Structures are given as structure tokens and as C-alpha cells.
Structure 1
Amino acid sequence: MAHGPWRILALPPLDAAIFRPMFADLAAEVSVPETRDREGLHAALAEAELIIGDFTGALALDADAVAAAPRLAFVQMPQVGVDSCDLAALTAAKVPVANTAGANARAVAEWAVAAAFALCRHLIWGDRRMRAGSWSQSELLGRGTREIHTQRVGILGYGAIGAEAARMFESLGCTVSYWSRRRRPDVSPAYLDLDELVGWSDILVVALPRTPETVGLLGPERLALMPQGAFLVNVARGGIAPDQAVFEALDSGRLAGAALDVFEPEPLASDHPLRSHENVLLSPHVAGATGQAQLNILSQVAANIAAAVNGAPVINVVNDVAPRIHRRLPDGSLAE
């Protein structure tokens, strides 16, 4: 039975004309919501079959959105994180959700290493003093500059990003250990229990996905386990290390510095005390934003959408749904 072209709904804040060349060779039509709000999203969902998720999180696919999309067959997120998707609702609807695992792993890992260098040598602090007219050689040295190879680096989460960061830190001569929810017997860094890793790490790199189990994982009590004067580098998601807990650990001196690319909520409030703390390197959630990474993401998105349209299995499915995509009728039943 012929069903016409597949209907692709692109939710990122980009014009549909940007997406159409990506799928010009497919039997598919691309549209975007008329308005970037709940009403516009729900109106567009009525006919959507394949969705490219919104990397900003503004157009979240919550349970109500899933219910408004009876023909939905597949969701492709253009990023690693899927926290803007209600995975339980999508799984119950038998809709596979895929991410772009590994596409920006190198970019994010490089940011983590660069941030660790900046913290060890107090580069941001020194730059601020120079711009203010100072020449603070002895004062900067007195802050405790360190060579990175002397630091014990803990990697919290050992997915594609964590593994790449571990490889880079090891190549610099650092002793590296890790913790993840699934132990990896075939990797070189030593595995430590969570609290042991936190208490061991001179530099703790957070590279975990945000899930109900990881929200608040690095709260005040666990941050207090870190060695006095340790550094925190967060390239994961906001809320895993709550902003207020990180600020308090900095203010107490438990943390000598932090490099933060993620916050909760985003953007970070203009009057948040983290913005004025001199021992913080702040970044607007761009650790993975390189030209190479963006091309990798677009390539994975295009390949998975093409696989869905052509009847091939999609890759990087993160929920427990079979990876072969089937069209649906307006009542939600499978098309023949």
C-alpha cells in the first residue's frame, strides 16, 4: 500500500530549508513548527512520522507531545543527551529514540583537557588580572600552579566522551581512574567505586548522561569528599553537580577551581554567584561545538533518517525498542 512521502518534522531552531537538501534524495517531506511554543509543536506533531529533536530542549518531547503524535515512528536527537525526551512515554508507544553517540566525543574531551590545563595554571585568573592592568607574577605562583601530569584524574562516566578524555589525560602522563554504572574490564584506567573515585581525584571530569539516577549525584556531601583544593570539570549536563553545591564547594575552598560548560537551568542566571566567582571558568554549553563535530552530527542524523525511510535498522537507539522503523496510520496502528 502506498502511503506517500515520509513526513519529517525538524524541531531545532533552524529554517526547514537547511534540512531539505539533507533529505532531497529520500521519499520524504521536511517541515518545522509554525511557532516555537507548545501550541506550534503540538499542531506540527499531528502528522509527524520522523522527528529530529530540538537540541535546545525548548521543544521537549514530553508525554503530552508523544500523545499528540499518533503517527510518530522514530525520534532522532542531534546530540548525545536525550533528557528532553520522555523515554518512558516513547518506549510505551514503541517509538525508538536515537542519539548521535560519539559524534562530538573528541570535541568535548578536548574541551575538558583544555579546561583542566586552564585550571592548573590559573590562566583565566591571570588573564583577568592582566586586563585590569596588573602584573601579578608572584601572586599567580602563590595560587598553586600545577603541571597537569602530576594530577590524578577521575573520569565520572565512561561512554564515548569519558573514554576519549581518559585517553587524552593518560597521554599527558596523568594517572587516570574512572567510575561508570557499567564496569569496563577491557580498558586501561582503573575502576574505582564512586565515593572512592571522588575522594581520590585531583581533577574530576563529569561525563555522565543526565538520568533520574544521576541528578544531584555530586551534591554537597559527595563534593565534600574531594581532596582539598581539587578541580571539577563538568562537560555532562546541568543538575548532576548542582550549581549551588558547586558554588559552596568553591566558596569553602574545598574546590580550588571549576570549569563548567553546563548548568541548571540554562542559561545561567545573569546574577548567579558563579558568574562572579574568580575561580570559575564558565562556558555556555559549547564544549562539543566545533565545526568537525557539527558535521559528524549532521552526518549521523542524515544517515539514520535515510535508514528509517529505506527500511534499514537505525543505530544508537537508547530506549528498549527495535531499531527497524515502521509507518503508522493516523490512529497509531501499524501500516501494512
Structure 2
Amino acid sequence: MKPWNVLALPALPLEMLRNVTAPLAGRITITAPPARDKAGLLQALAEAEIVLGDYSGELVLDAEAVKAAPKLAFVQQPSVGVDGHDLDALREAGVPLANTAGVSAVSVAEWALAATLALTRKLVQADAAVRNGEWPQLTLQPRELSGSAVGIVGYGPIAREAGRLFEAFGCTVSYWSRTPRDHFRPLGELIATSDVVIAAIALSDQTRGLVDPAAMKPGAILVNVARGGVVKESGMEHLGGAAMDVFETEPLPAGHPLTLLPNTLLSPHVAGVTPQATMRLFATVLDNLAAALEGRPVSHVVNGASPQVERR
């Protein structure tokens, strides 16, 4: 059988991508766009049968790109988020788009817990004070996490794993999702009454700006491990702290108001970047690519298309 043409969009050396996909050698050929811009993408899509998406979101498949890819049969996004891709256009073209749901659940949930502990125990402030020759033993006023009411916006793998970890620390955990689940609470009530609010839901037109820090109670903790657009980046002055791994604009611009806000913990979208999560991601991508090549249904399709990949 003729090898499938795989167009790789991540900004990684082709040799590295070929090493990662070595188990599929002989069954695929991997190419990259001639330039990392819209024109280069459209040119490369003419012969693409499978697209390995760009995890950075720099190159995406919008409606114009889908029309430029007559042979496209499958898109594998090497991340949980599928921001920027036109899911409807791909579905209408009969092209399934799959993500790597769950591969970073443990790493992101651990980050959410670690960030919450850092804020409640004032670890960053304590470290800075001691390094500065101070000894604020009686003024820092850290508090325990145990006994806190934790509200999680979302009910995917990350949200559920975070809930498990916070429950192990003696917290009462509630959830809000678009489909009511166990321990469900209305969104407004959850945000207004929780001691810790964790955003762990996919970004979409329906979830953009979903979490408004201004609606949280004074002294509460906000943690965002979703996408920057899910949480409004204002109205946090009354909070006890905010931990943000994701932002509306990435990298975060110099002088951004969040960098000037006290009691904030800022992180460069790295919560899910661990060796263990990366290995799970590689395995998921390879399994799905192999399924597509072998005529088996692919997993984690998010755009409503059939998981059965049909070569054009």
C-alpha cells in the first residue's frame, strides 16, 4: 500500500518527528509546510492525507484550510485543546479531528493542587522574605487547605483528577459542567461560595469568559488550568490569590496587569508538560495514527465526525 502523506504542523525538526513515529516507518511519509504561515500551510495541504496538528495553535485548520485539503482524511491534534480549528468545517468535510484527552490529567491536576497550596501557605512570599533578610513568622498568616470548599468548573479528566486530589486533602469538592454530574452545583453558586475555584474546562464560544473572578468571595483562591479565555483577567483584587498557567495572550506581554497584582502565581502554560505526560501523548498519537492506517476507528474524536477514517 502506498504510504500515507502526513503533514506535521508542530514547530519541531522533521527528524525528531520521524524518530517519534518510527513504529509507523514505511507506512507514512512526513512533511512540513514550506513556511510557517498561512500561505505555506495552504500549499502543503494540497497533498496531505493526515494532519498532525500544531500544539502551539500557530497553524490551524480554518474553513479556508479545509477547502485546500481535498485528500484530507484525519486530523490528530497532539494536545487536549483544539483551539482555532474549524470543527464544523472538518465535520462537514467528513474529516474526524481527534485530541489526546486525558494524557495530561495527572500532571495538570497536580499543578492545580501545588499552586493552591503555594497560595494558601504563602510559600512564594515566605521564600522572598527570608531571602531578603526578613522573618515574617507572625505576619504572613498562611492557612490550611483542609476543610476548604473547592468548586471545579468542568468535569473532564483533569477536573475529576483534581477533585480526587483535593478530596484527599480533606476538601469538599463540587463541580459545574454543561451536563449536570455528581456533586453538581449551579455555576453562580459554585463561584460565589467556594474557597477555591478551579477552571478546568475546554475553551469554546459557550465557555469564553465563563469564570468571572469579580463574582468570587473575598479571600478566595482562583486557579486557571483551562484556557486563558475561560477566565476573565480582571476583577481579582479582592481574592486571596490567583494561580494562572494559561492566559488570553501567550506569552504574557510585559507589564500585563496580572504581573503587577500581588498574591498571584504565574506559570508559562507548563502545567501539563512533564516527561510522563509527554510519553502518554506520544503513545496516544501513535495509537490513533496506527488505527487510521489500519482501518480501525480512531479514539477521542471531538468534532462529531465518524471515527472511521476513509482514505480519499
TM-score (norm 1): 0.89
Residue equivalent to 2:127: 127
- Give yes or no for contact 1:313–1:324 (8 Å, CA) kept in 2: yes
In the TM superposition, residue 25 of structure 1 has moved relative to its aligned partner by: 4.3
Alignment of 1:1-336 (within 5 A): 4-26=2-24, 27-141=27-141, 145-185=142-182, 190-219=183-212, 223-243=213-233, 245=234, 248-250=235-237, 253=238, 255-328=239-312
Q: Give 3-state SS (helix, strand or coil) of 2:138's partner.
A: helix
User: How far apart are residue 276 of structure 1 and its match?
Assistant: 2.3
Cα distance in structure 1, aligned partners of 2:83 and 2:203:
7
Task: State whether residues 177 and 191 of structure 1, in contact with CA within 8 Å, keep that contact through their aligned partners in structure 2.
Answer: yes
**Secondary structure of the residue that 2:293 maps to in structure 1?**
helix
* SS at 1:139 equivalent: coil
Which secondary structure state, in structure 1, belongs to the residue aligned with residue 81 of structure 2? Answer: coil
Aligned residue for 1:148, secondary structure, equals coil
Q: Report the Cα distance in structure 2 between the residues aligned to 1:60 and 1:146, rounded to whole angstroms.
A: 44
Are the equivalent residues in 2 in contact too, given 1:274–1:280 (CA < 8 A)? yes
Secondary structure at the counterpart of residue 155 of structure 1: strand
TM-score by length of 2: 0.96
Query: Post-superposition shift, 1:17?
Result: 1.1
Moved more, 314-323 or 18-27: 18-27
The residue type paired with residue 261 of structure 2 is H
Q: 1:127 to 1:25 in 2, by over 3 A?
A: closer
How many angstroms apart in 2 are the aligned matches of 1:297 and 1:68? 28
Determine if contact 1:15/1:32 at 8 Å carries over to the other structure.
Answer: no
Q: Secondary structure at 1:301's aligned position in 2? A: helix
Preserved contact between residue 151 and residue 174 of structure 2 (Cα < 8 Å): yes
In 2, distance between residues paired with 1:215 and 1:280? 22
Which residue identity is paired with 1:284? P
Letter in 1 for 2:268: P
- State the shift of 1:183 in Å: 1.9
| Cα distance in 2, alignment partners of residues 35 and 15 from structure 1 | 13
User: How far apart, in 1, do the equivalents of 2:48 and 2:130 lie?
Assistant: 54
Question: Aligned with 2:301: secondary structure?
Answer: coil
* Conserved 8 A contact 1:23-1:306: no
Query: Secondary structure in 2 aligned to 1:205?
Result: strand
Paired amino acid for 1:228? P
Gaps spanning 5+ residues in structure 1: where?
A: 329-336
Task: Tell me if structure 2 keeps the 8 A contact 1:125–1:278.
Answer: no
Q: Is the 8 A contact 1:99 1:316 kept in 2?
A: yes
Q: Deviations over 1:87-134 (max 9, x none)?
A: 111111111010111101000000000011001011112222233332
1:239 positional shift: 1.1
Distance 1:174 1:256, change over 3 A: same
Aligned residue-pair number: 310
SS at match of 1:110: helix
Secondary structure of the residue aligned to 2:150 is strand
Q: CA deviation at 1:225?
A: 2.9
| Letter in structure 1 aligned against 2:301 | V
Cα deviations by residue, 1:128-179 (Å, 9 ceiling, x for unpaired): 22333322222212xxx21111211011101000000000101111011111
SS of the equivalent of 2:271 reads coil
Paired amino acid for 2:198: V
Query: C-alpha separation between the residues in 2 aligned to 1:224 and 1:73?
Result: 45
Moved more, 78-87 or 293-302: 78-87
Query: Which moves more between the two structures, 87-96 or 132-141?
Result: 132-141
**Contact persistence 2:199–2:211 (CA under 8 A):** no
